[in-house]
């Protein structure tokens, strides 16, 4: 019986054309972020298990891949099985996001970093998800973070850089959704949710788009939060005509503000909106962002043509303090790369022309290399292919590999200037 040769479930191979498409998108994102003053760093794919399970990652902690300790004995395995403590068998784990590693990185290297550090991280992460369309066990995250700035400039830099990156990719017309964890705390307080259940309640509210108000109400009831009318209140919050007032207004309020509304947080959101001219901004008091480490402003970017978020982030001022013993303000944004890359129609604008030289058998290797040297020096991507009887099949294959032109090479070809380039798309 033949062995299975597919990748592990939830993980993927990428053929050359798709890999080139992804790298082009990543190059655009990196270029925009660098132009906005961010510097790229790299962290290990694994972190200490205790750090990954420190209560910072919300439900994602349950999805972390654990790496078993070396030298475990059958007795160790039996003891863990009896106690139900599987994590005692692991001392490392694959990172499930890039924010926890960044906090550890900053705590390690802070003496070598500027007072306000602007970081780019673009790398794969791993989660033990149930694989399905658009949800993978290994995927790329594109993060920018600002550490050391407690003021609104950090949020504004993150939002403007992200919108600029999406615009550069051709995804214009995005909208920003804003909320603040202080406002969510006010809503939960008005429902009488005890402190020890608030994070669980937020995780449930974060599912509002998927399971609806009635589903959220039912799930909250299983946690012991059985407040009558929660579903109706969620509908009102989601459907009310929330606005941030006229641009330029410093004291805008949504009509008569509810008693639970944290007005300081709301006015901070108004100030953010007023500093982002030309970008549509919506206040959504039901926006949660599932991570447990957010402390203040939270935001997402959505596109009117797609019913899902293209990325999000927020302020997480208490995370780094867990490593240093004193608070350091921090704020970050993550683009949903796997979602946006499927939306892109990546063209060849600004890219070197890619050419296949289809040569006869009798063309000398030295002459081929001379041609290739000339073309590469002019900025082209070049591949050799020997002419075959089924030329159409060959051209279809190199077109699928991302090449856009080909040229026949015979023994009479003298130099690159004499090549006749033919469009593969024709």
Q: Which residue has the higher pLDDT, 129 or 359?
A: 359
Q: Please give the share of the chain, as a percent, with pLDDT higher than 70.
A: 91
pLDDT at residue 13, rounded to an integer: 93
- 268, 297 Cβ separation under 8 angstroms: yes
Cα separation, 103 vs 389, whole angstroms? 59
- Stronger pLDDT, 215 or 59, i.e. the higher one: 215
Whether 249 has a pLDDT exceeding 50, the answer reads no
Q: How far apart are CA 368 and CA 287, in angstroms?
A: 59
**pLDDT tens track for 42-64:** 999 999 988 888 776 666 788 88
Bridge-based pairing of strands 354-359 and 405-409 is parallel
Alpha helical stretches, state H, 170-312: 181-190, 198-205, 208-222, 230-239, 263-274
For 253-268, the pLDDT digits (tens) are 555 667 788 888 888 8
When mean pLDDT is compared over 144-153, 184-193, 239-248, 274-283, the highest value belongs to 144-153
Q: Report pLDDT for 243.
A: 56
pLDDT top residue among 118 and 400: 118
Task: Please tell me the predicted confidence (pLDDT) of residue 251.
Answer: 43
CATH 3.30.930.10 in the chain, residue ranges: 16-341
Give me the phi and psi of 251, to 5 degrees please. Answer: -130, 35
**pLDDT, the chain, mean:** 85
Across 96-100, 272-276, 354-358, least confident range: 272-276
Q: Is pLDDT above 60 for 276?
A: yes
Superfamily holding 16-341: Bira Bifunctional Protein; Domain 2 (3.30.930.10)
Query: Does 65 have pLDDT greater than 60?
Result: yes
- Reported as a pLDDT band with limits 50, 70 and 90, residue 426 is low
Beta bridge partners of 138: 126
């Amino acid at each position: 019986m033949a062995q299975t040769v597919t990748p592990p479930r939830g993980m993927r191979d990428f053929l050359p054309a798709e890999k080139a498409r992804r790298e082009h998108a990543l190059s655009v994102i990196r270029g925009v972020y660098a132009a906005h003053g961010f510097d790229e760093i790299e962290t290990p794919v694994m972190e200490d298990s205790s750090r990954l399970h420190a209560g910072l990652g919300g439900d994602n902690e349950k999805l972390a891949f654990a790496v078993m300790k070396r030298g475990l004995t059958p007795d160790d395995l039996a003891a863990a099985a009896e106690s139900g403590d599987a994590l005692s068998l692991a001392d490392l784990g694959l990172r499930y996001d890039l924010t926890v590693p960044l906090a550890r990185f900053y705590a390690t290297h802070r003496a070598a970093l500027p007072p306000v550090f602007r970081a780019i991280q673009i790398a794969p992460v791993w989660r033990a998800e149930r694989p399905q369309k658009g949800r993978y066990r290994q995927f790329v995250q594109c993060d920018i973070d600002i550490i050391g700035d407690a003021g609104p400039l950090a949020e504004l830099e993150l939002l403007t850089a992200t919108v600029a990156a999406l615009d550069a990719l051709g995804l214009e017309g995005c909208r920003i959704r804003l909320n603040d964890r202080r406002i969510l705390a006010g809503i939960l307080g008005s429902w009488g949710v005890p402190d020890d259940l608030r994070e669980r309640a937020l995780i449930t509210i974060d599912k509002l788009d998927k399971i609806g108000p009635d589903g959220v109400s039912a799930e909250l009831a299983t946690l012991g939060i059985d407040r009558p009318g929660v579903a109706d209140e969620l509908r009102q919050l989601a459907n009310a005509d929330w606005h941030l007032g006229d641009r330029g207004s410093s004291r805008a309020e949504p009509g008569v503000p509810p008693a639970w509304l944290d007005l300081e947080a709301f006015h901070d959101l108004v100030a953010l909106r007023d500093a982002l001219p030309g970008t549509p901004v919506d206040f959504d008091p039901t926006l949660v962002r599932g991570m447990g480490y957010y402390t203040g402003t939270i935001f997402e970017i959505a596109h009117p043509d797609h019913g899902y978020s293209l990325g999000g982030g927020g302020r997480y001022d208490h995370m780094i303090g867990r490593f240093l013993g004193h608070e350091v303000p921090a704020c970050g944004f993550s683009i949903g790369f796997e979602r946006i890359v499927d939306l892109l129609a990546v063209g060849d604008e600004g890219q070197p022309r890619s050419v296949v030289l289809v040569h006869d058998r009798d063309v000398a290797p030295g002459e081929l290399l001379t041609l290739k040297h000339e073309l590469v020096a002019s900025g082209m991507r070049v591949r050799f292919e020997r002419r075959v009887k089924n030329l159409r099949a060959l051209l279809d294959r190199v077109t699928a590999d991302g090449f856009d032109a080909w040229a026949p090479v015979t023994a009479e070809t003298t130099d690159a200037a004499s090549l006749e380039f033919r469009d593969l798309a024709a």
